[in-house]
Structure formats: structure tokens, C-alpha cells
Amino acid sequence: MNAQGVMVMGMPVGRLAVPLLVLLILAMMVLPLPTFMLDVLFTLNIALAMIVMLVSLNARRPLDFSVFPTVLLLTTLLRLSLNVASTRIILMQGHTGPDAAGKVIESFGNFLVGGNYVVGFVVFLILVIINFIVITKGAGRIAEVAARFTLDSMPGKQLAVDADLNAGFINESEARTRRHEIGREADFYGAMDGASKFVRGDAIAAIIILLVNLVGGVLIGLFQHNLGLTEALGRYALLTVGDGLVTQIPALIISTAAGIVVSRASSEQDLSQEFSTQIFGRPQTLFVAAAVLGALGVIPGTPHLAFLTIAVVIGGLGFWLMQRQRTVANAAPLGFIEDEPAPADVTWDDIPPVDVLALEVGYRLIPLVDRNQGGAALTRITEARRSFATDMGLVVPLIRVRDNLELKPNSYRITLKGVEVAHGELLTGHVLAVNMGDVLGRLDGTSGVEPLTGMAGVWIEEGREEEAELRGFVVMTAAELIARQVEAVFRQHAPELLGRTEVQQLLDSLTRNHPGLLEDVTPRHLPLTSVQAVLQNLIAENVSIRDTRTLFETLAARAPKNQVIDDLVESVRAALGRNIVDRLFEGSSLLHVIGLSAAVETRLINEMGDEGEALLSPSTLDALNDAAEQALAEQENEGYPAVLLTSPGLRAVLSRLLRRNLPRLSVIAYAEVPADKIVQVSAEMTFEEGA
């Protein structure tokens, strides 16, 4: 049974190991330890420092040792606990002899510094200075700068991941993994920046503990154990030096490991391989170094043996590396080129998918579309998509956002299925003051246009918003303008956004909410493509498909008898008539509409016959457009909605003919008008004489 399978108090042993270790370390500060246990823990501390050093040397990138900040805290806490435990024993038992605090402290006090506590103090101070000023300070500075640059580069890296995802180079799972790695890297360097303070504090604590052990031990020896000053100083000073060295050497090793981790760049090789490849990869540099050492070795007064020996060793190493490189080059399998695998052929998977909707921005507009930099454009686009879905019943696909270095810095463009459908350029440090028709005076600035409504506006400097609002202008920021441009695109091209995938999602939602209703429509009587065509026709004429229950109940009733798309659309419109009329006339009971004269209606019916609008003559089409423009102008001058009321047989034809030139004109049929509404013709479409 493995460790993970053993349960203690309902938890695996593996999950309890670190909490128990922390509790034991804290207990060491309070509970007295026997000298044997102190020797074991000091040895374990040294071994742990060596393990951390080896792991840091073999890590190929900093994130391979992402737990290092926590390890740094735990090892620092372990050393301080050992200092407290050894201080207790030194002060209580130091008068008994040099082995009072265990064999490890004794050996470090006698063997490493030869029993000379003055030398020991000097060595200890040098180790503390190296650790505190050189290694820890440098590693902390590297971690601080790396954390700053990593955070600054996060938006660009995330946009690069999105670009690779949109281009099809990676899938969604790999994109999530890369984003997670980017976040982990920033967290790691930020944690290392703070964790370096642990080592710095440890060095300061070591000096304080050294002084406490020395002064406290001498005082205890003099006044409690009646030792002479020289004897007390000799015993306690040697124990203090041994204790300081046995903890500072592992601390120096851990600090060195921290410096190695934060100063390394990501690589496919460990540090030993990189060192040998980059330092000894060019034999010519070794030959130059050997020549300089050889020249120094023949100068009178220099240590000839040392210089000449090292020069020979380095020169021999360079010669061996040169011979090895030649052998590898000569051993290259040139004769087996034909056996190399052929490059993979192009497959369908190599073709990147085309985004349905995509927003590309210049580099200066990246902060507007990056939530990490406080960009509000994406939030406003999401709000527009939600509003459109509530209004029309169609969920617009996600808009892919990426930077495009080919665009001007302040420019953006919107593509629909890979084709540009809109573009714009924003003025840096400016906002757009839009004239909604009721303003006082005028504003000085560059002319502009509000993208969703097409209303005229003026670009003004930031800071003049209050002035513009007092004059009656509506002020829009750059983020709002981008979002409204995107909204204008998906409102204008809504039928193209309703693909088979979206239709299937709508049907799945209908099945969950109204089980059994869909079975009477598709695939029994209508294929999915016909259902899609009906919905696209409704969306194209700004008819909401949110009332799916009424829509599909009508299709279920009509589809068994008639599968003609135009007829099905007219039937659905009649069923949705109250909703259509209410949207156009905002709930009014009196409907002011444009009527169709009898002459126009008769002429259209006679020319079309059974073939439809394809048989209409050019003169009739021109006259029809002129009549519609004139009637629409009269209608709008009176302040009434741009709505044309006609017979059901002509409604679809007139809608198709007039939609291109007069997109704001809505065409409804008599069958769509609810019985409780009063219709009044306020303008009439009629052909002029000779047309």
C-alpha cells in the first residue's frame, strides 16, 4: 500500500506530511531536544540544503521548481528552530565541555576552524556578509525585476496565445494550459521577490543569536558556574562559533540555489549541459586562455608550475574538444539522406479555422480590449451581445480579439468569416461628442461619426466632457465606440451569423423547454436547412425569433401541407404579428402606416404573374423605388414610423425589392396587424404619370 492509500483521520498521509513538518519545526522552538536529536536535525538540515541545490541545478526552467518560495520559508524556519534549540542547550549545558551541544556543533567548532574561536568568528562573519550582501541581495533584485517585467508582458503573451488559438496552431486545451503557465510564472517571480526577504532576515537573526549565545554563555559561566573569564570564553565561544557555522553553511547553499533559480532562463537543458555547451563549446577560446597563462608562467617571479600546469590542462581540453567536434562532423550520416522521413503532407487539419467574427486592433488599442489593463471594450461588447440576444432571440458567436501589427497603431478592423466588413481609427486622448439633434451651440474639433446610428459627432480632447454634456452632446469613449462598431456589424449581418451550429443550439434549447414540439417540425417535415432559411429570413427583416414556441407551433401546423420557405415565413410572421407591430409602433393602438395605391398594386401583380419579381421591368423598379422614397419622406416628416402596409401576396416581394435602398423601411402585411389595432394611412406610394 502506498503512502497516498494510508488514511489518518480521514486524510491521506501525503497531505498531512507538510502540516506535520511545520508543527514539528514550531515545536522545536519550545520543547527541549536531546543532543542526539540535535545532531540528527543539523545533519538533516545540511542534507536538505544539498538536495535543494541539486534540484535547482537540474531544473530546466524556473517553473520546474515552482514550490521553491515555500521551500525557502520552511528551510529558514527549520534553521531558526535549530538555532533556538541549540541556544537552549548551549546556555544550559555549555559549561560541561565542547560536546555539550552535540557532536555536529563540536566538529564544526574544532575541525573547520581548528578550535580557534577568533578564526571561527571571522569565518562566520564572512559567510554572513557573502550571504546577506552578495547572494541574497542579488537574487532578490533579479526576482524583483523579473516579476515586474513578467507582469508587464502578460497582456502581450495572452494575446499571442489567443492569436495562436484563432490561427488554429493550438487547441483550446493547450491555450488554457499556456494561460495558466503565464499566470504561474508571474506568481512565481512575485513569490520569489518576497521569499528572498526570509534569507535576509535569517542572516540578521544569525548575528543576533551569535551575540546572545556568546554574551549569555559567558555571563552564565562566570556567575552561575564560577568559571574564569578565559575558561568561560573558550567554552561558550567555541560552541557559539560551531552553532553559527553549522546553520550558516546550509543557509549559504539555499541562498545560492535561490540565485540560480531566479537567474536562469527557460531551456531544454539543465545547467550543467548549458554550462559545458556555452563555456566550452568553442575550443578557440580555450587556446587563447592557455596561451595567456603560458605567457604568464614564463615571466620571472611568477609561480611557473601552477601557471604552466593549468595552461597545459586548458590547452589539452581545447584540443580534445576540437577533435571531438571534427569526429562528430565526419560521422554525420550524409550517405543516408534518402532514408530520412519525408516532410508530412498538408492535411485538412493544417488549415486554420476562419473566425465568424473577429476584432483586430493596433498595438495602441490593446489596453482597450485587455481586461487585465482595465479595458472596457470587451465588457461593453458582451453587454451588446446580451441585449441583442434578449431583443432578437439570437446569440451572437464569440468575437475573437487579437492584435494586428499591420494596422495603424490607433486603427481597428472587424472581419466576418475572414472578410473585412468594418474598420475605424480612433484619436488618442480624445472622445467623441455625438450630436443627437438637440444641442446648444457647436464644439470645436475634428468631425466624426457614431458607428451604430451613423449620427455626426465631434472629436474633442479628454477633459472637455462636461462642456460637451452641458451643450447637450452625448460623449462616447474609445472603448464605447469600438463596442458600438462591433454591435453595428452583428446587427447588420445578423442572418449570416445564424449558421447550422447556432440553429442546432436553438433547437436543443427548445427541446429542453418544450419537449415534443420539435418532433413535428424537423426532421419529420422540414430539414434543418429549411428551418435555418426560415429563421434567417425573419432575422433579415428584424423580426425577433425569441418566441420560439409560437414560431415552431406555426411551423408544425403549416409544414405538413406546404414546405415553400416564403410561404412558411409569411405564416410565421402572421402568428408573430402582435410582437412585430408592437416593436415597430412601440405599443401604440393607432398605427400610422404607408399605404400602397391600387394602381401600384395592380401593376405589380400584372407584371409579375406567377414568376415573381424577376419579371418586373427596369422602369417599374425605378418607379417603385422613387415612390417608396417619396412616401417615406412624407411619413418621417410627420414623425411616424417607417412602415409600409400591403397585402400578404406582395409583402415579401416588396420587402426584398426595397430593403437594399431603404433598409430602415419595414414592410408588414394586413394579416400581421392585430384586430384591436386601428390603422390609418398617413402616406401613399403611387406611380407618377408616365412612370
CATH number at residue 398: 3.40.30.60
> Average model confidence (pLDDT) for the chain?
78
Q: What is the mean pLDDT of residues 392-396?
A: 88
Residue that finishes a domain, picked among 495, 529, 563:
495
- The answer to whether the beta carbons of residues 413 and 360 sit under 8 Å apart is yes
Helix (H, G, I), strand (E, B) or coil at 181: helix
* Collapsed DSSP state (helix, strand, coil) of residue 682: strand
Strands 430-434 and 474-476: antiparallel
| Residue 115 DSSP label | T
Highest-scoring range by mean pLDDT, 33-37, 194-198, 324-328, 582-586: 582-586
Task: Inform me whether the pLDDT recorded for 270 exceeds 70.
Answer: no
Question: N- to C-terminal Cα distance for the chain?
Answer: 96
Cα(620)–Cα(394) distance, integer angstroms: 36
- CA 118 to chain CA centroid, nearest Å: 57
Mean pLDDT (whole number) for 408-424: 90
Distance CA(281)–CA(268), nearest Å, equals 17
Return the bridge partners of 495, or none. Answer: none
Q: Higher confidence at residue 417 or residue 189?
A: 417
Residue 97 has pLDDT above 80, yes or no: no
Same domain, 503 and 526: yes
- Give the pLDDT band of residue 622 (cuts 50, 70, 90): confident
Confidence of residue 593 (pLDDT cuts 50, 70, 90): very high
Q: For position 337, what pLDDT does the model report?
A: 40
Residue 8 has a CB neighbour count (10 Å cut-off) of 10
Instruction: Evaluate whether residue 350 is within a structural domain.
Output: no
Task: Decide which of 470, 495, 520 is a domain's last residue.
Answer: 495
Neighbours of 78 (CB within 10 A): 22
**Residues 541 and 399 both lie in one domain:** no
Cell numbers standing for residue 43: 545533519
Averaged pLDDT, 1-29? 60
Residue 11 lies in a domain: no
Greater model confidence, 335 or 618: 618
**More confidently predicted of 17 and 645:** 645
Number of neighbours of residue 313 by Cβ within 10 angstroms: 13
Q: What is the largest CA-CA distance in the chain?
A: 135
pLDDT of residue 668: 92
Among the residue ranges 22-26, 402-406, 500-504, the one predicted with the least confidence is 22-26
Domain span at residue 375 reads 357-495
Residue 668 has phi, psi (to 5 degrees) of: -125, 160
516: amino acid identity, one letter: G
Residue 341 pLDDT greater than 60, yes or no? no
Give percent of the chain above pLDDT 90.
Answer: 9
SS3 of 426, please? coil
* 380 in the same domain as 298: no
**DSSP one-letter code for 458:** E
Assess contact for 498 and 539: CB atoms under 8 A: yes
Q: Which of 365, 313, 93 is nearest to 225 (CA)?
A: 93
Cα–Cα distances (Å) from 270 to 178, 181, 282, in that order, read 22, 20, 19
Cell of 88: 537552549
Q: Among 345-349, 469-473, 670-674, name the one with the lowest average pLDDT.
A: 345-349
C-alpha cell at 17: 506530511
Mean pLDDT of 24-31: 70
Q: What is the spatial distance between Cα 543 and Cα 576, in angstroms, rounded to a whole number?
A: 9
Is residue 413's pLDDT more than 90? yes
Mean pLDDT of 384-413: 88
Domain count, the chain: 4
Preceding amide of 523 cis, omega within 30: yes
In three-state secondary structure terms, 646 is strand
Residues 132, 250: one domain?
Answer: yes
| Cα–Cα distance measured from residue 615 to residue 225, given in angstroms and rounded to the nearest whole number | 124
Residue 2 lies in a domain: no
pLDDT at 332: 44
User: Residue 458 corresponds to which cell in the numbers above?
Assistant: 465631434
Q: Are residue 196 and residue 228 in the same domain, yes or no?
A: yes
Q: What is the CATH number of the domain that holds 609?
A: 1.10.8.540
Q: Based on the domain organization, do 680 and 546 belong to the same domain?
A: yes
Provide, rounded to the nearest whole percent, the portion of the chain with pLDDT above 70. Answer: 79
6 in a structural domain? no
CA 3 – CA 375 distance, rounded (Å): 48
What gap in Å lies between CA 121 and CA 239, rounded to an integer?
11
HSE (side-chain half, CA atoms, 13 Å) at 179: 16
Residues in the chain, total:
691
Cβ neighbors of 437 (< 8 A, separation 6 or more) are: none
How far does Cα 637 stand from its chain's mean position? 51
Mean pLDDT of 257-267: 66
Q: Has residue 424 been placed in a domain?
A: yes
State residue 336's pLDDT score: 41
pLDDT classification of 414: cutoffs 50, 70, 90: very high
Same domain as 363, residue 314: no
Strand segments (E) across 373-484: 399-403, 411-416, 419-425, 430-434, 446-449, 456-461, 474-476
Interatomic CA distance for residues 684 and 426, integer angstroms: 43
Q: Which of 234-248, 267-281, 303-317, 647-661 ranks highest by mean pLDDT?
A: 647-661
Phi, psi values for residue 524, rounded to 5°: -60, -50
pLDDT band at 535 (very low <50, low <70, confident <90, very high): very high
User: Tell me, what's the pLDDT at 283?
Assistant: 73
Residue 117 has pLDDT above 80, yes or no: no
* Residue 19 in domain: no
Residue 179 pLDDT > 90: no
In a 3-state reduction of DSSP, which class is residue 300? Answer: coil
Cell of 448: 466624426
- Of the candidates 604, 602, 544, the residue with the CA atom closest to the CA atom of residue 578: 544
Residue 394, classed as helix, strand or coil, is coil
Could you read off the pLDDT of 202-213 as tens digits, one per residue? Answer: 777 777 877 777
Domain shared by 545 and 672, yes or no? yes
**Same domain, residue pair 63 and 187:** yes
pLDDT the model gives residue 643: 92
pLDDT in tens, 147-156: 676 666 667 6
pLDDT at 195 over 60: yes
Whole-angstrom distance, CA of residue 566 vs CA of residue 552: 15
- Is there a domain that residue 340 lies in? no
Residues 262 and 297 reside in one and the same domain: no
Query: Are residue 468 and residue 517 in the same domain, yes or no?
Result: no
Q: State how far the Cα of 24 lies from the Cα of 31, in Å rounded to an integer.
A: 10
Buried b (16+ CB within 10 A) or exposed e, 624-662: beebbeebbeebeeeebbbbbbbebebbbbbbbbbeeeb
Q: What pLDDT, on the 0 to 100 scale, is given for residue 510?
A: 84
Predicted local confidence at residue 575, as pLDDT: 92
Task: Give the residue from 495, 516, 543 where a domain finishes.
Answer: 495
Tell me, yes or no, whether 398 and 311 share the same domain: no
Give a yes or no: residue 476 inside a domain.
yes
